[in-house]
Structure 1
Amino acid sequence: MPDVFLCGPLCHRPLLDVILGDSVVLSPAFVADREGWLVDRPGHVALGSRRGGKVEGVVPDALSPQATARLAFYARVIGLAARKVRVTTARGTGQGITYALKAAPGEGGFWDAALWLTDHAALAVETAVEVMAGYGQTPPARLHARLGPIMVRAASRLRAQAGQSPAVLRRAPGEIALQTTRQPYAYFFSVEEYDLSFRRFDGTMSPVITRAVFISADAVTVLPYDPVRDRVLLVEQVRAGPFGRGDGNPWQLEAIAGRIDPGETPEDCARREAVEEAALTLGDLLPVANYYPSPGAKTEFLYSYVALTDLPDGAAGVFGVEDEAEDIRGHLLSFDQAMALVDTGEIQNAPLLLTLFWLQRERGRLRA
């Protein structure tokens, strides 16, 4: 059988162990007259032809049929093509296959393992965990179609792992014993069911209980505020949640909001969404709070900000990303007008309510 030549991200041992489901012995190898290119996606590398070039990598000493199938499954999900190459190992040069994209020179520059390790490795591994959980259960084409949301969820999990979790009043992290995980629905969002038990406050373990969680991405909300004119900009759009609840008016008044894409910081996301939803360039971002809006049933974690912004007359319009079917109308309101809408109940959006109450507390300082 031909050697399987692994290069780029597939040389990263933690990623490869997740993909193969086991650790394998790897030997150095290279492919001549080729060049590796960076691709701005966490599990990808591109190969191009270049006389005198050399792409270094590894070959597994032996891959079981199961490991071979898992590798092919992963490649199909993330969009890597199987390509024939001439591989040189300690045994000599012979025919092999590799998984890579066709090079698009100039897309990201030459392959740089150190740069990939810093910028992409953790996300690639976390993405692979969810991808490989679908092995033998979900067709690779279906997983490929929702690779974007899978990566967004992976980035959210990494952010959760890196975030601070103070425990002054509440208990320190306790024991949770997970028995089984199911994913009855998965597309743009997903639903997971867990059979688990947990350490109770009296020290005993609870009985096994079943809990369902709606899996969504980390997101940002940002309220533009002009302290000179003492006005805010709200956005309005139709929302599926109120519609599904049976609300007679599913159009909601909100702060600018959006999910955090892989590779973005919450601050980057806030500024991008302000351009997309309101054509605004934000000034200083003032953190309001980071929080779970509904921890009993949702994984969503929000980063809310007030942004000091110039809001002259005429700053509001109708905007949105056409590919996402967004139809978003802006409203310029004085601070007092916005708080009057809180009093009447016309503002029903929790992040906006929280942010307006924060602004009510800090408004004097900001205006001064």
Structure 2
Amino acid sequence: MNIFVYGTLRDEALRMAVAGTAGDVAPAALTGYSVRPAVGDVAPMIAPDANGQAQGLLLRNLTAEQISRLTLFEDAYGYTLTGVSVTLPGGRTEAAQMWLPPARVQAAPGAWSLDHWQDNYGAVTAQAARAVFAQDPLPAAADLRWQWPMYLKRAWAQAQAAGTDRPAAVRHGAQAGDVAVSGRVPPVGRFFKMQGFEVSHRRFDGSYQGPLPREVLVGIDAAIVLPYDARRERIVLVEQLRMGPLERGEPNSWMLEPVAGMIDAFETPEQAALRETQEEAGLDVTLRHVTSCYPSPGNATDYFYCYIGLCDLPDVNRYAGGLETEQEDLRLHVLSLDDALAHVQSGEIAAGPCVTLIYWLALNRDALRLEFATADA
């Protein structure tokens, strides 16, 4: 089977991640179509265009495994194959199959740019695809359809981590060769992933130890926001059922926490923080960054960007929040800062980021009160 690709699979890194060498690759064009941006997506769609010519690649001599992997990748989006005739350099035509988008995918104005996609989204998408095809067995298309955003979020988090320049004034200044990871096994899990591997590393005395068997929970970067009314000195806490205390065996697994949410792929922490605060609590806030940290670096990749969300809070004690589309069942509590501190002391507030942000407010409440009194003057 010959397959004509016109969008992201023209990128060699993504194509290799999905299907390896992908057979013989030749430039080709499809007359009567144009490649357009898809509404709400960074990937393109192809649309009939009487005056258009879609540029792409013809993949030939594919193996059954390569076809299966390519089909899984496209089926996750709900795309379906159709027969076309493409033109090769020199004018010769050749029959091929091409994936068409489902009817729900609509075209946005303008032309889609492969160069723009590669510069802004290509490396993360290829990393997400490598993670998908490291699974054994591979997921079904129906599962990959809902899992794919999580793969992208994890790949986006890894891209952000790779660009981190954190001081090493006290701790060890890592050098090339200090740590080696080997023996990776296919990760397990449907929503989050548990990754097993072996690690060898330099000891503080200069010797090496390992390989040591290790596992980590591969989570998602998240934005954490504690809404705070500095004039009235009160906060909003979100109450919901949490799986960690439930699985640990606590008799009451409903927790009091700040607003929190995963950072979507290609989204900044600030964008995620503002979006989640509006979605969960119905509040528009001004962000004040407090810290960015690993809550449990010994066994998880989770990384939290923590903020105070300065705002005017409603004159209520509690209200409902969250999105039905995300199966969120949330209750919002408006508490004085003093009451929140008492709940930390009693142990009723036991989520680490929540405790951190409440204590930060306790240390900075006078400065914030003065800041807002000056702004009101």
State TM-score, norm by structure 2: 0.88
Partner residue in 2 for 1:94: 94
Q: 1:138, CA displacement in angstroms?
A: 4.1
Structure 1 residues 273 and 105, CA gap change in structure 2 (3 angstroms): closer
Is 1:352 equivalent to 2:354 in the alignment? yes
Aligned-partner residue type, residue 259 of structure 1:
M
Is 1:264 equivalent to 2:263 in the alignment? no
Do the aligned residues in 1 keep the contact of 2:47 with 2:107 (CA within 8 Å)? no
SS at match of 1:263: coil
Moved more, 97-106 or 191-200: 97-106
Quick one: distance in 1 between partners of 2:116 and 2:349? Answer: 45
Q: 1:60, CA displacement in angstroms?
A: 4.3
Moved more, 340-349 or 297-306: 340-349
Structure 1 runs (4+) deviating above 6 angstroms are none
Structure 1 residues 22 and 255, CA gap change in structure 2 (3 angstroms): same
Is 1:185 equivalent to 2:188 in the alignment? yes
Do the aligned residues in 2 keep the contact of 1:126 with 1:158 (CA within 8 Å)? no
Quick one: distance in 1 between partners of 2:369 and 2:355? Answer: 20
Aligned-partner residue type, residue 220 of structure 1:
A
Is 1:211 equivalent to 2:210 in the alignment? no
Aligned-partner residue type, residue 323 of structure 2:
V
Q: 1:294, CA displacement in angstroms?
A: 0.6
Quick one: distance in 2 between partners of 1:115 and 1:122? Answer: 12
Moved more, 300-309 or 63-72: 63-72
Quick one: distance in 1 between partners of 2:196 and 2:109? Answer: 39
Quick one: distance in 2 between partners of 1:332 and 1:73? Answer: 47
SS at match of 2:155: helix
Q: 1:25, CA displacement in angstroms?
A: 6.2
Quick one: distance in 1 between partners of 2:188 and 2:11? Answer: 31
CA-to-partner distance for each residue in 1:33-76, whole Å, 9 max, x for gaps?
A: 0011213445x431111111111112346545554443334333
Partner residue in 2 for 1:13: 12
Q: CA RMSD in A?
A: 2.4
Moved more, 10-19 or 285-294: 10-19
Structure 1 residues 359 and 107, CA gap change in structure 2 (3 angstroms): same
Aligned-partner residue type, residue 111 of structure 2:
F
SS at match of 2:101: strand
Is 1:289 equivalent to 2:307 in the alignment? no
SS at match of 1:110: coil
Partner residue in 1 for 2:237: 234
Q: 1:115, CA displacement in angstroms?
A: 3.4
CA-to-partner distance for each residue in 1:264-316, whole Å, 9 max, x for gaps?
A: 2111111111122211111x211111111011111111000001101141374
Do the aligned residues in 2 keep the contact of 1:183 with 1:190 (CA within 8 Å)? no
Quick one: distance in 2 between partners of 1:310 and 1:137? Answer: 49
Quick one: distance in 2 between partners of 1:90 and 1:186? Answer: 46
Identity of aligned residues (%): 33
Quick one: distance in 2 between partners of 1:154 and 1:311? Answer: 36
Structure 1 residues 326 and 45, CA gap change in structure 2 (3 angstroms): same
Partner residue in 2 for 1:149: 150
Quick one: distance in 2 between partners of 1:325 and 1:210? Answer: 37
Partner residue in 1 for 2:374: none
CA-to-partner distance for each residue in 1:212-251, whole Å, 9 max, x for gaps?
A: 1112111111011111111111121121111111112211
Alignment of 1:1-368 (within 5 A): 3-22=2-21, 26-39=25-38, 40-42=40-42, 44-60=43-59, 63-64=62-63, 66-91=65-90, 92-102=92-102, 104-107=105-108, 109-134=110-135, 137-174=138-175, 175-183=178-186, 185-282=188-285, 284-314=286-316, 316-368=318-370
Do the aligned residues in 2 keep the contact of 1:182 with 1:192 (CA within 8 Å)? yes
Aligned-partner residue type, residue 28 of structure 2:
A
Q: 1:145, CA displacement in angstroms?
A: 4.0
Quick one: distance in 2 between partners of 1:210 and 1:233? Answer: 42
SS at match of 2:185: strand
Moved more, 304-313 or 88-97: 88-97
Quick one: distance in 1 between partners of 2:257 and 2:106? Answer: 43
SS at match of 1:206: strand
SS at match of 1:299: coil
Structure 1 residues 312 and 61, CA gap change in structure 2 (3 angstroms): closer
Do the aligned residues in 1 keep the contact of 2:223 with 2:305 (CA within 8 Å)? yes
SS at match of 1:182: coil
Unaligned 5+ segments in structure 1 are none
Aligned-partner residue type, residue 260 of structure 1:
I
Q: 1:259, CA displacement in angstroms?
A: 1.0
Quick one: distance in 2 between partners of 1:205 and 1:97? Answer: 53
Structure 1 residues 277 and 94, CA gap change in structure 2 (3 angstroms): same
